[in-house]
Structure 1
């Protein structure tokens, strides 16, 4: 065999070896991606199944709250068996529900904002996590002017996926309210504004020392948020809720929806 033929043979072997390595790497990447997809789908399935079980465990049933005002959906609500459910899950502070949507979830609160980010109420890891109140809210829904609830925007359409839809006028009109049940009282959440803000926005605010600070906050919403003719009048004496989830318009963007709390009968 000539030196030229020998060099060509070695070159072919090196190329074949490189090709084999690339094929193996490609297969490994495909296997890895496949495993991750299966894990995500399994996490979605497990989370969905767990929340359906929690709805039954909490005895969540739909009811009518009275004639109310505004749209027909404002007359709807739920009942929750709080005496039984709170004994087992003391971290749960409320149940959030919205007619004709996937929102039908418990709302917990921990000593930090990390615990329920990727945990279900039973403490098990799950990508859906649990809707949770910011730990800095000391008197959510009652004495606190602003209560903040966080939740993931899951790609299977669950949890807070629909919050970003409030930037669309048609969706706003079709879903003007949510319903919040707590052990101490029930509320209608009358949605009046939506916005996209950075995760480090100063509007994640908890200190409102007086009426002036509340008015300043409401003026900011009116000036910067996506307001619409909801017919909801919000004053400094009222209590409001911010629902917050991830969105993707820019790095660390958050879609937020503001709602006024209106007490309703149990």
Structure 2
């Protein structure tokens, strides 16, 4: 091989080395950035939980505190000072799910914006933009949908994966949605893993019959079902997140409103 050929090979190797270093540095930056976003997001949420302490309000409710309604409204007012888009608080016992729920003008913004409004891949827990709450903060739609990311850190809606275990599903029955007017209690009746293009996130139905057909189809697809009777006049809640059994898979937990 000529001297010129050796020089060319060395240059190629050097360029390839630089490319490898560049790819490594970029990947390392992305990984560090991902975990930092998760850490910062959870730290911010911990501060928000000090503003709105669901466990404290729940305890006060059980003890029959007279000024509970005023206290709840006061706490929600504080949440709205953080972000006027806050509409509720979601709590799922025996999981890490204990978060404010925001609602934007679409289902895209809060995929990559936090509850405090800054850009982050961890996003926020958010209600479907099509859903509506009445003045009494109760759902007016058949199906209220709340979305959250599945993160490696275990935050946001990652804990929904626990409902893929039948024993966990059998023991844990309820989801609590706090609103300025009080607590909505939902009883979990089904959990599914499905393709992203399956329309389990429909909010409006032409009739009660269509709604019951929708629920029946969910129950047929479910990993587990509970013997919960769903009637035409009922309201349901859907918690939705990603799952990784296959590409573009979704995990959804469905619950019926039983108390408001």
Q: TM-score, normalised by structure 1?
A: 0.84
Q: Distance in 2 between matches of 1:106 and 1:43?
A: 18
SS at match of 1:19: helix
Q: Distance in 2 between matches of 1:88 and 1:41?
A: 24
5+ residue gaps, structure 2:
63-71
- Aligned residues of 1:133 and 1:148 also touching (Cα < 8 A): yes
> Is residue 201 of structure 1 aligned with residue 198 of structure 2?
yes
Of stretches 23-32 and 171-180 in structure 1, the one that deviates more from structure 2 is 171-180
Say what the alpha-carbon RMSD is for the aligned residues. Answer: 2.2
> Runs (4+) of structure 1 moved beyond 6 Å?
none
Aligned 1:138-153 pairs, distance under 5 A: 138-139=132-133, 141-153=138-150
Aligned to 1:188: 185
Q: Distance in 2 between matches of 1:109 and 1:210?
A: 26
Q: Distance in 2 between matches of 1:14 and 1:83?
A: 68
- Aligned residues of 1:189 and 1:261 also touching (Cα < 8 A): yes
Q: Distance in 2 between matches of 1:35 and 1:88?
A: 30
1:59 to 1:170, Cα distance in 2 relative to 1, 3 A: closer
- Aligned residues of 2:184 and 2:257 also touching (Cα < 8 A): yes
Aligned to 1:113: 107
Aligned to 1:73: none
| Superposition deviation, residue 88 in structure 1 | 4.5
| Superposition deviation, residue 126 in structure 1 | 1.7
> Is residue 210 of structure 1 aligned with residue 204 of structure 2?
no
Aligned to 1:166: 163
Q: Distance in 2 between matches of 1:61 and 1:248?
A: 32
SS at match of 2:84: coil
SS at match of 1:61: helix
5+ residue gaps, structure 1:
1-6, 67-78
- Aligned residues of 1:134 and 1:149 also touching (Cα < 8 A): yes
> Is residue 29 of structure 1 aligned with residue 23 of structure 2?
yes
Instruction: Say which one has the larger Rg.
Output: 1
Select 2:239's aligned residue among 239, 243, 259. Answer: 243
Aligned to 1:125: 119
- Aligned residues of 1:185 and 1:263 also touching (Cα < 8 A): no
- Aligned residues of 2:54 and 2:91 also touching (Cα < 8 A): no
Aligned to 2:174: 177
Q: TM-score, normalised by structure 2?
A: 0.86
Post-superposition Cα deviations, 1:149-184, rounded to whole Å, max 9, x if no partner, equal: 111111111111122332221221343222211112
